[in-house]
Chains A and B, each alone.
Chain A
Amino acid sequence: NAGVTQTPKFQVLKTGQSMTLQCAQDMNHNSMYWYRQDPGMGLRLIYYSASEGTTDKGEVPNGYNVSRLNKREFSLRLESAAPSQTSVYFCASSAHQVLETQYFGPGTRLLVL
């Protein structure tokens, strides 16, 4: 049981490049989330998916797109990376959206030059 896995662990991009961050969970959870964490700050919600087939914007969605590929996988895409998107990205999942503990992946450290 791997829990929540994320790839890649590290990535360096040049401004304007695109990339997709992958996230998968094997806990049969309905809800999945993408957060970013900047130094010295808490996590900010980018997008979430309450259930397979649905996605909604969080607090900081600009510059990102997401795809809930199936119940297990939730990807985050940066179409044209900017230095302001340098951050640590965490994916999380929970059994249901409300009242439930979120389980986090190990994070992807992204540097945009």
Chain B
Amino acid sequence: RKEVEQDPGPFNVPEGATVAFNCTYSNSASQSFFWYRQDCRKEPKLLMSVYSSGNEDGRFTAQLNRASQYISLLIRDSKLSDSATYLCVVMNNAGKSTFGDGTTLTVKP
């Protein structure tokens, strides 16, 4: 079983739709959690960190469920510019990051 698992998609949604991605992790001692965005053939860039209390940044909401060992990302009112691959990242208490394989989102007009 992979340490970090994501549904690869692709998710194809119309503009304005709400879409949610989940990510599960196997190491219960994991310390930090992040969502990164990666555009085609570009480097990953931080989208948001994920906190136990949940956090929101505009149209994006991230949640962490430590008991069930999953994190989620919700995108509301999807824009064409949201089309990208979304990477779930889990960091252990030694600072080692493990990336999921990514979920591809395509937002269509």
Q: Verify A43–B49 contact, CB threshold 8 A.
A: no
Complex Cα distance, B97 from A58, in Å, reads 9
A-B contact count (CB 8 A): 53
Size class of the contact patch on chain A: 20 to 34
The verdict on A90 contacting B95 (CB below 8 Å), with A40-B101, A43-B87 known, is no
Interface residues of chain B, those whose CB is within 8 Å of chain A, are 4, 8, 31-32, 34, 42-46, 49, 87, 91, 93-102
Contact A106 B44 (CB under 8 A): no
Chain B residues with CB under 8 Å of A99's CB are 31-32, 91
* B101: nearest chain-A partner, CB-CB: A42
Interface residue? A31 (CB, 8 A): yes
A-B CB proximity, top 3 nearest: A97-B95, A42-B99, A104-B43
Q: CB distance A98 to B49 under 8 Å?
A: no
In the complex, A41→B94 CA distance in Å? Answer: 23
Q: Mark A30-43, 1 if CB is under 8 A from B, else 0.
A: 01010100001111
